[in-house]
């Protein structure tokens, strides 16, 4: 009894220590280290994946189209860049040539049937055939891609909710994104059918083609049109061995998003609610310590996979390449 009284405080201490130890162990086990995802290296490519293919890339002068064009050439494709930005288009073509790639730049406005037909005719003249296309050219607002933001002058052409949307804004965005994608797709499909050996098309939608976005009326509606076009073309051309899929990204670092963020700053300054007024980040942006956007190279990875024979069982898909934006 006497011994027990003497050792009792030690037992108590040992108990307290072991509870503390258990707590520390449990806590450290339930708090794993956070990690940012490293984007794919811009120099990465899958050797020979597109060897011998001839592909058209609309909007290939800059942004997502530029990265896709550069990597497609490294993977063995002869690349035709179609864009209405001549200086940037030629610069991208030069980069491809400097890497040892085969390339042609054709100044094209995808809103024009004549331009789209000429694009295909020039492709055949230079490379003798066509195997596929990335229909990527698009706009977010009613302003020519090369023009800088000037909020006061361009107000009527900028992204807007329905009640304040102008005809000019709606018509321009629809002419490029919906009608232009249709016209370029039509010219490409006619050639693929003529050659009779199948092919692959990748259209570029957006999260705006999978869900609504604040203050972005015409962009959202036009990107839903792109995804509708993608699905109906997949049905019509499956019998001819032509696959048609779309990619649908969230914020990806390009000149388009640089301008979009400038625009969001301007509307916030003026106390207008609209674009950027609801959800603004994908799941991966939200969890990244620097809130990193997708890179155009990450988008090129999925686009070129869908364009290549690796995707031989995929058609009619509208893939969310959106860092989890539409998952929550």
Give the nearest residue (CB) to ligand NAD.
63
- Binding residues with ligand NAD: total (CB under 6 A): 30
Q: What does the DSSP 8-state code read for residue 57?
A: E
* Beta partners for residue 135, in sequence order: 58, 203
Cα Rg of the chain (Å, integer): 26
Contacts (Cβ under 8 Å, ≥6 apart) of 207: 213, 248, 249, 250, 320, 322, 325, 326
Contacts (Cβ under 8 Å, ≥6 apart) of 310: 49
Give me the numbers of helices (H) and strands (E) for the chain, helices first please.
11, 7
Smallest gap from Cβ 307 to ligand NAD, in A, equals: 15
If one asks whether residue 254 binds ligand NAD (CB under 6 A), the answer comes out as: yes
Give the DSSP H or E segment for 201: strand 199-204
Backbone phi and psi for residue 213, each to the nearest 5 degrees, phi listed first? -135, 145
Q: Is 281 exposed, middle or buried (0-12, 13-18, 19+ CB in 10 A)?
A: middle
If one asks whether residue 109 binds ligand NAD (CB under 6 A), the answer comes out as: yes
Active site residue 219: yes
Chain centre to alpha carbon of residue 320: 9
If one asks whether residue 77 binds ligand NAD (CB under 6 A), the answer comes out as: no
Of the candidates 223, 207, 247, which has an alpha carbon nearest to the alpha carbon of residue 57? 247
List 138, 159, 215, 276, residue binding ligand NAD (CB under 6 A): 138
Residue pair 217/159 in contact by the 8 Å Cβ criterion: yes
If one asks whether residue 160 binds ligand NAD (CB under 6 A), the answer comes out as: no
Q: DSSP string of 62-98?
A: SHHHHHHHHHHHHTT-EEEEEES-HHHHHHHHHHHHH
The stretch near ligand NAD (CB under 6 A) out of 16-24, 94-102, 134-142, 266-274 is 134-142
If one asks whether residue 252 binds ligand NAD (CB under 6 A), the answer comes out as: yes
List 75, 83, 131, 141, residue binding ligand NAD (CB under 6 A): 83
> Which CB, 54 or 176, lies closer to ligand NAD?
176
If one asks whether residue 142 binds ligand NAD (CB under 6 A), the answer comes out as: no
Tell me the per-residue interface mask from 168 to 207 with ligand NAD, x by CB under 6 A, - otherwise: --------x---x-----------------------x-x-
* Beta partners for residue 242, in sequence order: 199
List 68, 108, 191, 245, residue binding ligand NAD (CB under 6 A): 108
Which residue in the list 169, 219, 224, 319 is annotated as catalytic?
219
If one asks whether residue 256 binds ligand NAD (CB under 6 A), the answer comes out as: yes
If one asks whether residue 324 binds ligand NAD (CB under 6 A), the answer comes out as: no
Tell me the per-residue interface mask from 259 to 298 with ligand NAD, x by CB under 6 A, - otherwise: ----------------------------------------
Q: Any idea which residues carry the catalytic annotation?
A: 219
Using CB under 6 A, list all residues that contact ligand NAD: 58-59, 61-65, 83-85, 108-111, 136-139, 145, 176, 180, 204, 206, 249, 251-252, 254-257
């Amino acid at each position: 009894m006497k011994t027990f009284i003497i050792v009792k405080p030690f037992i108590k201490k040992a108990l307290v220590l072991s509870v503390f130890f258990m707590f520390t162990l449990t806590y450290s086990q339930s708090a794993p280290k956070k990690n940012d995802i490293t984007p794919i290296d811009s120099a990465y490519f899958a050797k020979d994946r597109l060897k011998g293919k001839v592909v058209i890339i609309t909007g290939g002068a800059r942004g997502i189209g530029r990265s896709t064009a550069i990597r497609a050439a490294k993977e063995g494709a002869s690349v035709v860049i179609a864009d209405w930005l001549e200086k940037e288009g030629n610069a991208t073509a030069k980069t491809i040539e400097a890497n040892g790639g085969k390339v042609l730049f054709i100044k094209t406005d995808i809103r024009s049937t004549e331009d789209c037909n000429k694009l295909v005719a020039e492709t055949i003249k230079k490379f003798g055939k066509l195997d596929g296309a990335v229909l990527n050219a698009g706009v977010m607002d009613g302003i020519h891609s090369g023009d800088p933001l000037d909020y006061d002058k361009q107000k009527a052409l900028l992204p807007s909710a329905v009640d304040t949307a102008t005809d000019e804004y709606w018509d321009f965005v629809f002419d490029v994104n919906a009608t232009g994608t249709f016209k370029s797709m039509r010219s490409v499909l006619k050639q693929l059918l003529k050659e009779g050996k199948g092919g692959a098309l990748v259209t570029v939608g957006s999260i705006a083609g999978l869900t609504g976005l604040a203050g972005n009326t015409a962009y959202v509606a036009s990107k839903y049109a792109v995804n509708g076009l993608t699905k109906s073309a997949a049905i019509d051309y499956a019998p001819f061995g032509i696959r048609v899929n779309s990619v649908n990204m969230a914020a990806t670092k390009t000149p388009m998003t640089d301008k979009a963020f400038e625009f969001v700053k301007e509307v916030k300054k003026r106390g207008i609610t609209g674009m950027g007024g609801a959800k603004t980040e994908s799941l991966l942006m939200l969890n990244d310590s620097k809130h990193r956007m997708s890179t155009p190279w990450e988008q090129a990875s999925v686009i070129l996979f869908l364009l290549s024979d690796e995707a031989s069982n995929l058609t009619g898909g509208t893939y969310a390449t959106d860092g989890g934006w539409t998952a929550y």
